[in-house]
Each structure stands twice: as structure tokens, then as C-alpha cells.
């Protein structure tokens, strides 16, 4: 098992991948990707029981992860590649013609690690709940993990799924809400000010935990706490506070880098803050 | 003109309910979801037989489509059940991304399609669903014509791998396809061989086409009547072979003229061998409340409309 220091180094490498991928095609979503780099690194390298190769799209008898906010594909692709789902070198094809690393994740080109398309928001929790129920039907005791954005919670379908998951006691599922409080048009408070997520999920019958998704002490306390709540009749959600753009100072504290790529100078500035490790750039 | 005995008078949705139960018996991976319309979709028998494999989705169709995709992802064969309107337009993006683009093995069972659900009116009478669904890459679109064919189609789609839109209706309708007629997805069913005009019909209008065939025969016209139960993939070979033989075409469907079976046939003929074609379909209009038979008359989907369309098509052969 990797030490926390090793995971932190890996998360920094993931952040390098993110800014380099987005810069290379002058498009993509670095802000949310950087904010979720620690959480996804922790999941894929410490907490999830999963097999990268050979990849089983059905995910039988292993933990499966669903990215509902598909626009943060850079962090997802980087973590998948560095977990061994597909070659790290393939990150260089992100968003380019004939790539398997489409702008938003898809199963369409057969990219290992991806089990459903996402990008149009609000659908991932429904899909994940379906898979959670499938696992129960098949007496498969592994866990379904989901990441969703906080702006995404404005989609009505999410609340249909929240109701449905509680009603069906989908207690084999741990959802993280990326509570970065930013969306394209501004802060979530400005766009649609309804941020009391803990009491909302509790009112719907969910087990709710809160975590700082950029603090490894918090991550290593809260994820095991969430896992200890599995199998107790309630779906579980972690309200995960993150900083959009985490790790690159000029991308933090603003929604400006939600879907904007750095130029050459900004890339150099970003990479200077993210030291390359023994993992190496793609 | 071949005579078809009426074997009964049953709703196609009951054919779905019976087929679903059989599919569930044949394969324990078959599961079902319904958005608060279990009785309307005739899914009670499945629910009673396999309560663990039945999920009540409540009045939340978008979530139901996503949950179905998630169940399929892990190897289940889910059937979703709601009215055709709420199976398509209401949840188009969910179907597009989570089911079609993700190629998930979900069977979208859509009842109360077309005008013939009757009195509920236009909010519930979708006439655009075939078009919406056939536009989705990789989606199979099926519209069976009677109870027996719907039952057989339900069992057949459970046995195939890939997303399917299965459309059927509410009213009691003549049953004339024999129970032992095999249902082959994508294969047109020849109902009457003829030489003067090809009538391609789907869904409830297949029976109307047979009635029209008798009237045409009494006028000395030999109509070839072909049941296109699978609108996508279209049995192009069967359509072309018949159109070549008769030289003119009538398409019949309980759907908008835009985007339905007729358009699929017209596109095929335009690409290959153009032929005069007449549409029996709703012409860019919503439906309204009324009895099914009254609606078919008012919206020109009745037997005399098919006869008239056939005569026009023949006259245009020149």
C-alpha cells in the first residue's frame, strides 16, 4: 500500500497531466479536475477494490466508479491511465481526432475504465443506483462510488435519483458531491443559492458526511467513516468541499478556469507549482 | 386477397405483459421498471411473479431510464414501462446519453402510442416517437400490430443484445397473427402477395391495411400487404423487392408523416429506385380527445384512407 506522501506525489503528477492535457488542445475543464485530483487519487489508489486489467465493463465483484460530472474528464483519464486501465501515453490524444479520450467520457470508443457516457449532467446518480441494485440482486458485496458536481445538483433528475436510492435502500453506494461552490456563470450561491446540502440529503433519508477533499487527513478519516456506514439501509453521501483549481494558485478562488485552458506562459507558471515526480509526464 | 381470421380482440399492451412474463421465466436476468403505470402497462403479472426483479420508479421517468442503464451495465436485461410520450420525448437525453450512446441493453417498452389511446387527448398521444427513436444511432425500433405479435416481439427483444424501443397501444384490436408466427427482428412479414401496389403498414394500421386490401380486391386491384414491425433496422430488401414488383407504394402508420415509417421507406427509395409513394399518417398535427375509431377517421388513418392512397399511388405510376 502506498503511503500518503506517495499518494500526494501521485496527485501532483495527476495535476500536471490535467494542465498539460488541457493546454495541448486549448480546451477542456481544468478547474474542477484539479479540485478532485486528491479524491480520485485516494479512491483509485487506496480505497476502491478494482481491477484495471483485464477491464470488465460489467464490473462484476469489484468496486465501480461513476463520474457524473463528465466534464472533469482530464482528472478521470489521468487517474485511470495511471491505475493501469490504458497506457499513460494515450493521455496525449485527449480531445484530438480519432481519440478514445473524448471531451466527455464515453464507452463508445471502448476506453478501458469507462462504463457509461457522461457529460449531459444529472444522469450519473441514476445509473449508479441501477448498478448498486444490480449488485444487490447478484449478491455482489462490492461498493458503487459516484462523483457528482454541486452545480449539477440543480438538475431535477438528481433528486429523482436521491429519492429512489433511499427508497430502495441502496446502501452499497457512496456518493461524493464536489462542493466547490463554482459553476460556469459564477458561484453556485449567485446562480442558484441552495447550498444546504447536508440537511437536504438527510431529509431524503441519506447518511451524510462532510469532508475536505483537498486535505489528506480529512480524506483518510471520512472515507473510512463512510465505508463503515455501508450496509445499514441508507445510501451515503459525502459533501466534499474542494477548491476549484487546487494546486495552481491563479486558478483557485474563481470560476474562471471551469472550462478554460492555460496559454503557454500560464502552463509554465502552473507546472512550476506542480513538481514532476518519478512517475513522469506522459 | 388472403383471408385472415380474427382470433380475438385484445390490446397490444396485454401482449407486452404476457411476453414480459414469458421473458422473465426464460431468463432470470430480465428485470422490469415502471413509472407508476404498472396496471396500464400490464406489468402486474411480472411484478407478482418476480417481485425482487421489479422496481417501482414512481413518477420519475428520467431517473428510471438511468437506473435501467445502470442495471444493464452489470448484466441485467431491464424493461422500462411507461406511456410512449414519457418513454421518449420526456426522457430523450437520458436515453441518448445513458442508453443509446453508452450502448446499454435496455428495452424501452412504450404503451399508449399514437392516437388510439383515445380520450386522454394530445398530451398523451405521441405521434413523434418513432422519429425520435429511429434517429438515435444503434436503436432498434419495433411497432407490432396485434396481441400475438407484441407478445412474440417482447420475447424476441429480451433475447437480443442492444437498446430497443418497443411501441404498442391501449385499445382492444383484432388479433390475426397466429401464435406460432415467428417474430424475426428486422424481417418484414408478407401478409398478402400482390402486383399493383405495395402497402407497407406498421402497428394498429396493419389490420386496417388488410381491410383495405379486401376493398381494393373488390375493385380488381391486387395489393401486396407487408407488415413492417421493425421500423429500424428496416428490411430494405423486402421493401425494394415489393416496390420493384408493384411500382408504387403506400405507407401506413399511427404517427406523424414526418419522421416515421413512411419517411424511412421514402429515403430508401430515393437512394435507390424512386417510386410514387402515398402516406397514410398524421399530417403535422397534434391529436385530440375522442374514441379511437373516431380519431382514426378524423385524422385520415382509417381503411378508406388507405384505399384512397393506394388508388392515388397507382394513378401516379403513369
Q: Is residue B1 part of a domain?
A: no
Whether B39 contacts chain A with CB within 8 A: no
Whether A139 contacts chain B with CB within 8 A: no
- Nearest-CA distance A236 → chain B (Å): 17
Q: What is the CATH number of the domain that holds B104?
A: 3.40.50.970
pLDDT for residue A52: 98
Task: Tell me which residue has cell 429500424.
Answer: B232
Count CB neighbours of B28 within 10 A.
Answer: 13
SS3 B192: strand
SS3 B305: helix
Q: Which of A240, A277, A278, A265 is nearest to A19 (CA)?
A: A265
Alpha-carbon distance B13 to B168, whole Å?
Answer: 6
Q: What is the CATH number of the domain that holds B202?
A: 3.40.50.920
- A129: which chain B residues are within 8 Å (Cβ-Cβ)? 63, 66-67, 70
* Count of positions (residues) in chain A: 282
Interface contact A127-B98, CB threshold 8 A: yes
Count CB neighbours of A60 within 10 A.
Answer: 15
B56, B106: one domain: yes
Alpha-carbon distance B170 to B98, whole Å?
Answer: 28
Q: Is residue B30 part of a domain?
A: yes
B135, B209: one domain: no
Interface contact B98-A58, CB threshold 8 A: no
Interface contact A106-B101, CB threshold 8 A: yes
Whether A133 contacts chain B with CB within 8 A: yes
B194, B69: one domain: no
Q: Where does a domain end: B147, B175, B203? A: B175
Whether A125 contacts chain B with CB within 8 A: yes
B215, B134: one domain: no
Whether B137 contacts chain A with CB within 8 A: no
B193, B147: one domain: no
Please write the tens of the pLDDT for every residue from A106-118.
999 999 999 999 9
Q: Which of A56, A52, A49 is nearest to A85 (CA)?
A: A52
B160, B21: one domain: yes
Interface contact B67-A123, CB threshold 8 A: no
B295, B241: one domain: yes
Alpha-carbon distance A129 to A145, whole Å?
Answer: 10
Q: Which of A216, A270, A268 is nearest to A242 (CA)?
A: A216
B25, B56: one domain: yes
Interface contact A123-B98, CB threshold 8 A: yes
Interface contact B71-A118, CB threshold 8 A: no
- Nearest-CA distance B13 → chain A (Å): 25
Alpha-carbon distance B41 to B11, whole Å?
Answer: 11
The residues near A149 (Cβ < 8 Å, ≥ 6 apart) are: A32, A68, A69, A72, A121, A177, A178, A180, A183
Whether B55 contacts chain A with CB within 8 A: yes
Alpha-carbon distance B141 to B139, whole Å?
Answer: 6
Share of chain B above pLDDT 70, in %: 100
Whether A117 contacts chain B with CB within 8 A: yes
Residue of B nearest to A106 (CA): B102
Pairing of strands B107-111, B77-83: parallel
H helix and E strand count, chain B: 12, 14
SS3 A134: helix
Assess whether pLDDT exceeds 80 at residue B215.
Answer: yes
Nearest-by-Cβ selection for B66 from A115, A126, A137: A126
Residue of B nearest to A68 (CA): B98
B61, B128: one domain: yes
Interface contact A117-B57, CB threshold 8 A: no
Q: Which of B123, B48, B43 is nearest to B82 (CA)?
A: B43
Residue of A nearest to B91 (CA): A157
Whether B67 contacts chain A with CB within 8 A: yes
For range B71-75, the mean pLDDT: 97
Question: Is the Cα dihedral B195, B197, B202, B204 positive or negative?
Answer: negative
Pick the range with the lowest mean pLDDT from A146-155, A194-203, B146-155, B278-287: A194-203
Q: Is residue B245 part of a domain?
A: yes
The answer to whether A161 and B63 have CB atoms below 8 angstroms apart is yes
The residues near B297 (Cβ < 8 Å, ≥ 6 apart) are: none
What is the value of pTM for the model shown? 0.97
Task: Point out the residues of chain A with pLDDT beneath 50.
Answer: none
- Nearest-CA distance A7 → chain B (Å): 30
pLDDT for residue A194: 77
Alpha-carbon distance A247 to A165, whole Å?
Answer: 34
pLDDT for residue B318: 78
Domain A4-272: what homologous superfamily? Thiamin diphosphate (ThDP)-binding fold, Pyr/PP domains (3.40.50.970)
Alpha-carbon distance A54 to B71, whole Å?
Answer: 21
Sorting pLDDT into bands at 50, 70 and 90, what band is B270? very high
Whether B73 contacts chain A with CB within 8 A: yes
Q: Is residue B121 part of a domain?
A: yes
Q: List Cα–Cα distances, B58 to A202, B44, B177, in angstroms.
A: 20, 15, 35
Q: Where does a domain end: B175, B204, B227? A: B175
Residue of B nearest to A70 (CA): B97
The three three-digit cell numbers of residue B195, written as one number: 402486383
Residue of B nearest to A159 (CA): B63
Whether A166 contacts chain B with CB within 8 A: no
Q: Which of A179, A176, A180 is nearest to A207 (CA)?
A: A176
B308, B170: one domain: no
Domain that holds residue B103: 10-175
Q: Which of B99, B38, B37, B19 is nearest to B65 (CA)?
A: B99
Interface contact A117-B98, CB threshold 8 A: yes
- A161: which chain B residues are within 8 Å (Cβ-Cβ)? 63, 66-67
User: At B274, which helix (H) or strand (E)?
Assistant: none
Interface A:B, Cβ pairs < 8 A: 118
Q: Which of A131, A127, A105 is nearest to A118 (CA)?
A: A105
B141, B200: one domain: no
Interface contact B58-A120, CB threshold 8 A: no
Q: Is residue B184 part of a domain?
A: no
Task: Kindly calculate the radius of gyration of chain B based on its CA atoms and give it in whole angstroms.
Answer: 19
Whether B161 contacts chain A with CB within 8 A: no
pLDDT for residue A1: 81
Interface test with B, best of A126, A138, A141, A159 (most B CBs within 10 A): A126
Alpha-carbon distance B80 to B257, whole Å?
Answer: 27
Q: Is residue B180 part of a domain?
A: no
Please write the tens of the pLDDT for every residue from B88-119.
999 999 999 999 999 999 999 999 999 999 99
Nearest-by-Cβ selection for A58 from B60, B74, B93: B74
Please write the tens of the pLDDT for every residue from A39-78.
999 999 999 999 999 999 999 999 999 999 999 999 999 9
Residue of A nearest to B33 (CA): A130
- Nearest-CA distance A166 → chain B (Å): 12
User: How many domains, chain B?
Assistant: 2
B23, B80: one domain: yes
DSSP label of A70? G
Interface test with A, best of B61, B74, B80, B92 (most A CBs within 10 A): B74
For range B82-92, the mean pLDDT: 98
Per DSSP, helices labelled H in chain B are 12-26, 44-49, 61-73, 84-87, 92-94, 129-134, 147-159, 205-218, 236-246, 261-271, 292-298, 303-315
Assess whether pLDDT exceeds 90 at residue B282.
Answer: yes
Residue of A nearest to B97 (CA): A117
Assess whether pLDDT exceeds 80 at residue B306.
Answer: yes
Interface contact A137-B31, CB threshold 8 A: yes
Amino acid at each position: 500500500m502506498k503511503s500518503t506522501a506517495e499518494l500526494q506525489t501521485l496527485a501532483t503528477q495527476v495535476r500536471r497531466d490535467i494542465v498539460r492535457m488541457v493546454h495541448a488542445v486549448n480546451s477542456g475543464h481544468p478547474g474542477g479536475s484539479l479540485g478532485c485530483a486528491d479524491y480520485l487519487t485516494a479512491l483509485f489508489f487506496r480505497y476502491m477494490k478494482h481491477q484495471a486489467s483485464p477491464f470488465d465493463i460489467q464490473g462484476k465483484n469489484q468496486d465501480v466508479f461513476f463520474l457524473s460530472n463528465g466534464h472533469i474528464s482530464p482528472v478521470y483519464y489521468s487517474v485511470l491511465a495511471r491505475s493501469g486501465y490504458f497506457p499513460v501515453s494515450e493521455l496525449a490524444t485527449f480531445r484530438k481526432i480519432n481519440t478514445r479520450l473524448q471531451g466527455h467520457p464515453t464507452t463508445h470508443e471502448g476506453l478501458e475504465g469507462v462504463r457509461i457516457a457522461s457529460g449531459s449532467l444529472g444522469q450519473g446518480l441514476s445509473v449508479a443506483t441501477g448498478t448498486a441494485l444490480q449488485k444487490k440482486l447478484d449478491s455482489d458485496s462490492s461498493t458503487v462510488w459516484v462523483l457528482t458536481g454541486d452545480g449539477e445538483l440543480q438538475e431535477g433528475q438528481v433528486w429523482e435519483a436521491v429519492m429512489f436510492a433511499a427508497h430502495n435502500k441502496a446502501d452499497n453506494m457512496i456518493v461524493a458531491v464536489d462542493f466547490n461552490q463554482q459553476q460556469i456563470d459564477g458561484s453556485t450561491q449567485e446562480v442558484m443559492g441552495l447550498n444546504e446540502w447536508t440537511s437536504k440529503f438527510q431529509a431524503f433519508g441519506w447518511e451524510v458526511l462532510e469532508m475536505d477533499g483537498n486535505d489528506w487527513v480529512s480524506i483518510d478519516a471520512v472515507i473510512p467513516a463512510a465505508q463503515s456506514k455501508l450496509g445499514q439501509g441508507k445510501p451515503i453521501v459525502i459533501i466534499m468541499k474542494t477548491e476549484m483549481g487546487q494546486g495552481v494558485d491563479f486558478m483557485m478562488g474563481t470560476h474562471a478556469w471551469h472550462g478554460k485552458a492555460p496559454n503557454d506562459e500560464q502552463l509554465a507558471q502552473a507546472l512550476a507549482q506542480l513538481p514532476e515526480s518519478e512517475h513522469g509526464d506522459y | 386477397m388472403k383471408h385472415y381470421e380474427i382470433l380475438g380482440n385484445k390490446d397490444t399492451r396485454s401482449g407486452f405483459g404476457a411476453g414480459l412474463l414469458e421473458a422473465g421465466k426464460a431468463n432470470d436476468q430480465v428485470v422490469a421498471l415502471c413509472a407508476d403505470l404498472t396496471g396500464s402497462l400490464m406489468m402486474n403479472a411480472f411484478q407478482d411473479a418476480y417481485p425482487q426483479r421489479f422496481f417501482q420508479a414512481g413518477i420519475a421517468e428520467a431517473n428510471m431510464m438511468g437506473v435501467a442503464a445502470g442495471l444493464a451495465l452489470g448484466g441485467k436485461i431491464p424493461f422500462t414501462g411507461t406511456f410512449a410520450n414519457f418513454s421518449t420525448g420526456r426522457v430523450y437525453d437520458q436515453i441518448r446519453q445513458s442508453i443509446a450512446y453508452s450502448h446499454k441493453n435496455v428495452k424501452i417498452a412504450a404503451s399508449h402510442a399514437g392516437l388510439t389511446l383515445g380520450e386522454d387527448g394530445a398530451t398523451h398521444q405521441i405521434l413523434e416517437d418513432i422519429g425520435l427513436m429511429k434517429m438515435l444511432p444503434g436503436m432498434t425500433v419495433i411497432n407490432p400490430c396485434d396481441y400475438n405479435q407484441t407478445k412474440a416481439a417482447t420475447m424476441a427483444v429480451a433475447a437480443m443484445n442492444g437498446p430497443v424501443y418497443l411501441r404498442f397501444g391501449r385499445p382492444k384490436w383484432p388479433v390475426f397473427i397466429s401464435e406460432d408466427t415467428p417474430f424475426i427482428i428486422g424481417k418484414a412479414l408478407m401478409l398478402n402477395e400482390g402486383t399493383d401496389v405495395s402497402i407497407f403498414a406498421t402497428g394498429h394500421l396493419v389490420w386496417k391495411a388488410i381491410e383495405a386490401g379486401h376493398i381494393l380486391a373488390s375493385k380488381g386491384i391486387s395489393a401486396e400487404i407487408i407488415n413492417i414491425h421493425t421500423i429500424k433496422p428496416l428490411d430494405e430488401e423486402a421493401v425494394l423487392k415489393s416496390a420493384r414488383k408493384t411500382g408504387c407504394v403506400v405507407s401506413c402508420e399511427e404517427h406523424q408523416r414526418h419522421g416515421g415509417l413512411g419517411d424511412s421507406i421514402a429515403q430508401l427509395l430515393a437512394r435507390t429506385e424512386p417510386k410514387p409513394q402515398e402516406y397514410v399518417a398524421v399530417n403535422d398535427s397534434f391529436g385530440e380527445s375522442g374514441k379511437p375509431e373516431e380519431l382514426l377517421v378524423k385524422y385520415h388513418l382509417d381503411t378508406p384512407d388507405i384505399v384512397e392512397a393506394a388508388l392515388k399511388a397507382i394513378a401516379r405510376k403513369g
